[in-house]
A and B are shown apart, each in its own frame.
Chain A
Protein backbone atom coordinates (compact mmCIF):
# COMPACT_ATOMS: atom_id res chain seq x y z
CA UNK A 1 0.00 0.00 0.00
CA UNK A 2 1.54 3.36 -1.00
CA UNK A 3 2.03 5.77 1.86
CA UNK A 4 -0.01 8.95 1.52
CA UNK A 5 2.72 11.27 2.71
CA UNK A 6 6.34 10.70 1.80
CA UNK A 7 7.45 13.86 3.64
CA UNK A 8 8.31 13.92 7.33
CA UNK A 9 9.44 16.43 9.93
CA UNK A 10 13.19 17.03 10.13
CA UNK A 11 13.67 15.58 13.62
CA UNK A 12 12.79 12.10 12.32
CA UNK A 13 14.97 9.62 10.44
CA UNK A 14 12.15 8.64 8.10
CA UNK A 15 8.37 8.61 7.72
CA UNK A 16 8.12 5.24 9.46
CA UNK A 17 9.80 6.60 12.60
CA UNK A 18 7.52 9.63 12.56
CA UNK A 19 4.46 7.39 12.29
CA UNK A 20 5.68 5.29 15.23
CA UNK A 21 6.34 8.40 17.38
CA UNK A 22 2.97 9.97 16.57
CA UNK A 23 1.09 6.77 17.37
CA UNK A 24 2.98 6.18 20.63
CA UNK A 25 2.33 9.76 21.74
CA UNK A 26 -1.40 9.30 21.27
CA UNK A 27 -1.42 5.96 23.09
CA UNK A 28 0.44 7.60 25.98
CA UNK A 29 -2.26 10.28 26.16
CA UNK A 30 -4.96 7.58 26.02
CA UNK A 31 -3.28 5.80 28.96
CA UNK A 32 -3.71 8.97 31.03
CA UNK A 33 -7.33 9.06 29.87
CA UNK A 34 -7.84 5.49 31.12
CA UNK A 35 -6.68 6.63 34.56
CA UNK A 36 -8.76 9.84 34.32
CA UNK A 37 -11.94 7.79 33.85
CA UNK A 38 -10.44 5.11 36.09
CA UNK A 39 -11.16 7.07 39.29
CA UNK A 40 -14.86 7.12 38.45
CA UNK A 41 -14.87 3.44 37.50
CA UNK A 42 -13.14 2.61 40.81
CA UNK A 43 -15.75 4.61 42.76
CA UNK A 44 -18.45 2.72 40.86
CA UNK A 45 -16.95 -0.71 41.70
CA UNK A 46 -16.52 0.13 45.40
CA UNK A 47 -20.02 1.59 45.85
CA UNK A 48 -21.76 -1.06 43.77
CA UNK A 49 -20.13 -3.61 46.10
CA UNK A 50 -21.24 -1.67 49.19
CA UNK A 51 -24.79 -0.74 48.12
CA UNK A 52 -25.71 -3.40 45.56
CA UNK A 53 -29.47 -3.26 46.26
CA UNK A 54 -29.68 0.50 45.86
CA UNK A 55 -27.50 0.35 42.73
CA UNK A 56 -29.77 -2.33 41.21
CA UNK A 57 -32.76 -0.05 41.90
CA UNK A 58 -30.87 2.80 40.23
CA UNK A 59 -30.01 0.69 37.15
CA UNK A 60 -33.70 -0.14 36.70
CA UNK A 61 -34.43 3.59 36.26
CA UNK A 62 -31.96 4.25 33.45
CA UNK A 63 -33.44 4.19 29.94
CA UNK A 64 -32.35 0.98 28.21
CA UNK A 65 -33.69 2.02 24.79
CA UNK A 66 -31.74 5.27 24.61
CA UNK A 67 -28.64 3.60 26.05
CA UNK A 68 -28.72 0.76 23.52
CA UNK A 69 -29.46 3.10 20.60
CA UNK A 70 -26.52 5.30 21.55
CA UNK A 71 -24.21 2.26 21.82
CA UNK A 72 -25.18 1.25 18.27
CA UNK A 73 -24.59 4.83 17.05
CA UNK A 74 -21.12 5.01 18.62
CA UNK A 75 -20.09 1.55 17.37
CA UNK A 76 -21.14 2.58 13.86
CA UNK A 77 -19.24 5.88 14.16
CA UNK A 78 -16.15 3.83 15.00
CA UNK A 79 -16.59 1.95 11.71
CA UNK A 80 -16.93 5.17 9.68
CA UNK A 81 -13.86 6.58 11.48
CA UNK A 82 -11.87 3.42 10.69
CA UNK A 83 -12.96 3.77 7.04
CA UNK A 84 -11.76 7.41 7.04
CA UNK A 85 -8.34 6.23 8.28
CA UNK A 86 -8.36 3.52 5.62
CA UNK A 87 -9.12 6.11 2.92
CA UNK A 88 -6.34 8.34 4.30
CA UNK A 89 -3.81 5.51 4.00
CA UNK A 90 -4.84 5.08 0.37
CA UNK A 91 -4.75 8.89 -0.10
CA UNK A 92 -8.31 9.37 -1.34
CA UNK A 93 -9.25 12.88 -0.04
CA UNK A 94 -12.90 12.87 -1.16
CA UNK A 95 -13.47 9.52 0.46
CA UNK A 96 -11.76 10.76 3.66
CA UNK A 97 -14.05 13.81 3.80
CA UNK A 98 -17.14 11.69 3.25
CA UNK A 99 -16.34 9.25 6.05
CA UNK A 100 -15.28 12.04 8.43
CA UNK A 101 -18.55 13.93 7.84
CA UNK A 102 -20.53 10.73 8.41
CA UNK A 103 -18.62 10.17 11.67
CA UNK A 104 -19.40 13.76 12.69
CA UNK A 105 -23.09 13.25 11.90
CA UNK A 106 -23.20 10.11 14.06
CA UNK A 107 -21.40 11.93 16.89
CA UNK A 108 -23.99 14.71 16.76
CA UNK A 109 -26.73 12.06 16.64
CA UNK A 110 -25.30 10.56 19.84
CA UNK A 111 -25.56 13.96 21.56
CA UNK A 112 -29.13 14.48 20.34
CA UNK A 113 -30.20 11.08 21.72
CA UNK A 114 -28.34 11.94 24.94
CA UNK A 115 -30.34 15.17 25.13
CA UNK A 116 -33.64 13.29 24.85
CA UNK A 117 -32.41 10.83 27.48
CA UNK A 118 -31.32 13.56 29.91
CA UNK A 119 -34.70 15.25 29.42
CA UNK A 120 -36.48 11.99 30.28
CA UNK A 121 -34.25 11.61 33.34
CA UNK A 122 -35.28 15.11 34.41
CA UNK A 123 -38.98 14.31 33.96
CA UNK A 124 -38.49 11.02 35.85
CA UNK A 125 -36.96 13.04 38.74
CA UNK A 126 -33.51 11.47 38.60
CA UNK A 127 -31.45 14.67 38.73
CA UNK A 128 -29.41 14.66 41.94
CA UNK A 129 -29.55 17.81 44.03
CA UNK A 130 -32.39 19.19 41.93
CA UNK A 131 -35.48 16.97 41.85
CA UNK A 132 -34.32 13.52 42.94
CA UNK A 133 -37.19 11.14 43.64
CA UNK A 134 -37.24 10.65 47.46
CA UNK A 135 -39.00 7.26 47.21
CA UNK A 136 -35.85 5.66 45.73
CA UNK A 137 -33.41 3.97 48.15
CA UNK A 138 -31.01 6.46 49.77
CA UNK A 139 -27.91 5.20 47.99
CA UNK A 140 -29.57 5.17 44.57
CA UNK A 141 -28.66 8.86 44.63
CA UNK A 142 -25.02 7.77 44.75
CA UNK A 143 -25.62 5.59 41.69
CA UNK A 144 -27.09 8.60 39.90
CA UNK A 145 -24.23 10.83 40.94
CA UNK A 146 -21.96 8.34 39.15
CA UNK A 147 -24.41 8.14 36.23
CA UNK A 148 -24.35 11.92 35.70
CA UNK A 149 -20.59 12.25 36.30
CA UNK A 150 -19.61 9.37 34.00
CA UNK A 151 -22.03 10.04 31.14
CA UNK A 152 -21.35 13.79 31.49
CA UNK A 153 -17.57 13.37 31.32
CA UNK A 154 -18.04 11.02 28.38
CA UNK A 155 -20.30 13.57 26.63
CA UNK A 156 -17.56 16.21 27.10
CA UNK A 157 -15.19 13.82 25.32
CA UNK A 158 -17.71 13.38 22.49
CA UNK A 159 -17.92 17.18 22.13
CA UNK A 160 -14.11 17.47 22.06
CA UNK A 161 -14.08 14.65 19.49
CA UNK A 162 -16.53 16.58 17.32
CA UNK A 163 -14.17 19.57 17.49
CA UNK A 164 -11.15 17.44 16.56
CA UNK A 165 -12.91 15.64 13.69
CA UNK A 166 -14.35 18.94 12.45
CA UNK A 167 -10.89 20.52 12.31
CA UNK A 168 -9.42 17.48 10.52
CA UNK A 169 -12.29 17.51 7.99
CA UNK A 170 -11.66 21.22 7.31
CA UNK A 171 -7.93 20.57 6.81
CA UNK A 172 -8.63 17.77 4.34
CA UNK A 173 -11.15 19.96 2.49
CA UNK A 174 -8.63 22.79 2.15
CA UNK A 175 -5.90 20.29 1.18
CA UNK A 176 -3.53 22.49 3.11
CA UNK A 177 -2.26 19.91 5.55
CA UNK A 178 -3.84 16.61 6.49
CA UNK A 179 -1.40 13.73 6.40
CA UNK A 180 -2.61 10.22 7.12
CA UNK A 181 -0.94 10.39 10.55
CA UNK A 182 -3.20 13.24 11.70
CA UNK A 183 -6.33 11.37 10.69
CA UNK A 184 -5.08 8.14 12.28
CA UNK A 185 -4.39 9.88 15.61
CA UNK A 186 -7.78 11.64 15.57
CA UNK A 187 -9.21 8.17 14.90
CA UNK A 188 -7.44 6.70 17.95
CA UNK A 189 -9.06 9.38 20.13
CA UNK A 190 -12.49 8.73 18.64
CA UNK A 191 -12.21 4.95 19.14
CA UNK A 192 -11.25 5.62 22.76
CA UNK A 193 -14.48 7.59 23.26
CA UNK A 194 -16.29 4.54 21.88
CA UNK A 195 -14.36 2.22 24.24
CA UNK A 196 -15.40 4.19 27.34
CA UNK A 197 -19.03 3.90 26.30
CA UNK A 198 -18.64 0.14 25.67
CA UNK A 199 -18.02 -0.16 29.44
CA UNK A 200 -20.47 2.52 30.62
CA UNK A 201 -23.32 0.79 28.78
CA UNK A 202 -23.32 -2.50 30.76
CA UNK A 203 -22.36 -0.83 34.05
CA UNK A 204 -25.08 1.84 34.02
CA UNK A 205 -27.86 0.22 31.99
CA UNK A 206 -27.60 -3.58 32.10
CA UNK A 207 -26.21 -5.06 35.30
CA UNK A 208 -28.76 -6.20 37.93
CA UNK A 209 -31.58 -4.66 35.95
CA UNK A 210 -33.87 -7.52 36.89
CA UNK A 211 -32.63 -8.54 40.31
Chain B
Protein backbone atom coordinates (compact mmCIF):
# COMPACT_ATOMS: atom_id res chain seq x y z
CA UNK B 1 0.00 0.00 0.00
CA UNK B 2 0.83 3.64 0.10
CA UNK B 3 3.39 3.41 2.84
CA UNK B 4 5.06 6.73 2.20
CA UNK B 5 3.04 9.76 3.22
CA UNK B 6 3.80 13.24 4.59
CA UNK B 7 4.37 13.53 8.35
CA UNK B 8 2.27 15.85 10.51
CA UNK B 9 5.30 18.11 10.90
CA UNK B 10 5.65 18.47 7.13
CA UNK B 11 1.91 19.17 6.70
CA UNK B 12 2.06 21.96 9.29
CA UNK B 13 5.22 23.39 7.68
CA UNK B 14 3.51 23.45 4.26
CA UNK B 15 0.50 25.23 5.77
CA UNK B 16 2.81 27.82 7.39
CA UNK B 17 4.59 28.33 4.05
CA UNK B 18 1.23 28.79 2.30
CA UNK B 19 0.18 31.48 4.80
CA UNK B 20 3.55 33.25 4.48
CA UNK B 21 3.15 33.24 0.67
CA UNK B 22 -0.40 34.59 1.08
CA UNK B 23 0.87 37.58 3.06
CA UNK B 24 3.79 38.09 0.64
CA UNK B 25 1.44 38.18 -2.37
CA UNK B 26 -0.92 40.52 -0.49
CA UNK B 27 2.00 42.83 0.36
CA UNK B 28 3.36 42.77 -3.20
CA UNK B 29 -0.11 43.74 -4.49
CA UNK B 30 0.07 46.95 -2.42
CA UNK B 31 3.14 48.00 -4.43
CA UNK B 32 2.79 49.37 -7.94
CA UNK B 33 5.10 47.09 -9.93
CA UNK B 34 3.50 47.80 -13.30
CA UNK B 35 3.60 44.78 -15.55
CA UNK B 36 5.68 42.82 -13.01
CA UNK B 37 2.77 42.78 -10.58
CA UNK B 38 0.99 40.09 -12.57
CA UNK B 39 4.21 38.06 -12.90
CA UNK B 40 4.82 38.18 -9.13
CA UNK B 41 1.20 37.30 -8.26
CA UNK B 42 1.02 34.37 -10.68
CA UNK B 43 4.47 33.03 -9.69
CA UNK B 44 3.42 32.96 -6.03
CA UNK B 45 0.09 31.29 -6.99
CA UNK B 46 1.97 28.56 -8.90
CA UNK B 47 4.32 27.93 -5.94
CA UNK B 48 1.26 27.62 -3.66
CA UNK B 49 -0.35 25.23 -6.16
CA UNK B 50 2.78 23.04 -6.24
CA UNK B 51 2.90 22.87 -2.42
CA UNK B 52 -0.76 21.78 -2.25
CA UNK B 53 -0.52 19.30 -5.15
CA UNK B 54 2.80 17.70 -4.17
CA UNK B 55 2.34 17.45 -0.38
CA UNK B 56 -1.33 17.86 0.60
CA UNK B 57 -2.53 15.86 -2.43
CA UNK B 58 0.31 13.31 -2.07
CA UNK B 59 1.47 13.49 -5.70
CA UNK B 60 5.09 13.50 -4.51
CA UNK B 61 4.42 10.13 -2.89
CA UNK B 62 2.31 8.67 -5.72
CA UNK B 63 3.02 6.54 -8.79
CA UNK B 64 4.18 8.00 -12.11
CA UNK B 65 0.76 7.27 -13.58
CA UNK B 66 -0.92 9.43 -10.92
CA UNK B 67 1.59 12.14 -11.73
CA UNK B 68 0.61 11.96 -15.42
CA UNK B 69 -3.10 12.16 -14.58
CA UNK B 70 -2.49 15.10 -12.26
CA UNK B 71 -0.53 16.97 -14.96
CA UNK B 72 -2.94 16.18 -17.81
CA UNK B 73 -5.59 18.77 -16.93
CA UNK B 74 -3.05 21.58 -16.61
CA UNK B 75 -1.33 20.43 -19.80
CA UNK B 76 -4.47 20.68 -21.97
CA UNK B 77 -5.47 23.90 -20.21
CA UNK B 78 -2.06 25.39 -21.13
CA UNK B 79 -2.59 24.42 -24.77
CA UNK B 80 -6.01 26.09 -24.74
CA UNK B 81 -4.58 29.34 -23.33
CA UNK B 82 -1.46 29.32 -25.54
CA UNK B 83 -3.27 28.70 -28.84
CA UNK B 84 -6.02 31.22 -28.08
CA UNK B 85 -3.57 33.92 -27.05
CA UNK B 86 -1.36 33.21 -30.10
CA UNK B 87 -4.26 34.81 -31.97
CA UNK B 88 -5.15 37.74 -29.69
CA UNK B 89 -1.53 38.69 -28.98
CA UNK B 90 -0.57 38.85 -32.65
CA UNK B 91 -3.49 40.84 -34.11
CA UNK B 92 -2.22 44.01 -35.73
CA UNK B 93 -5.50 45.86 -36.19
CA UNK B 94 -8.12 47.02 -33.72
CA UNK B 95 -10.44 44.03 -33.48
CA UNK B 96 -12.23 45.12 -30.33
Residues of A within 8 A of B49 (CB): 195, 198-199
Partner of A20, one of B55, B58, B65, B89: B65
Once the chains bind, are A208 and B38 in contact (CB under 8 Å)?
Answer: yes
**How many interface contacts (CB-CB < 8 Å) are there between A and B?**
143
Once the chains bind, are A199 and B22 in contact (CB under 8 Å)?
Answer: no
Residues of B within 8 A of A71 (CB): 22
Closest to B43 in A: A202
Shortest CB distance B50–A (Å): 10
Q: Number of B interface residues, CB 8 Å?
A: 53
Partner of A27, one of B3, B18, B66, B81: B66
Residues of B within 8 A of A89 (CB): 2, 5
Partner of A30, one of B15, B37, B38, B73: B73
B residues sitting closer than 8 Å to A (CB atoms) are 1-3, 5-6, 8, 11-12, 14-15, 18-19, 22, 25-26, 28-32, 34, 37-38, 41-42, 44-45, 48-49, 52-53, 55-58, 62-63, 65-66, 69-70, 72-74, 76-77, 80-81, 84-85, 88-89, 96
Once the chains bind, are A46 and B52 in contact (CB under 8 Å)?
Answer: no
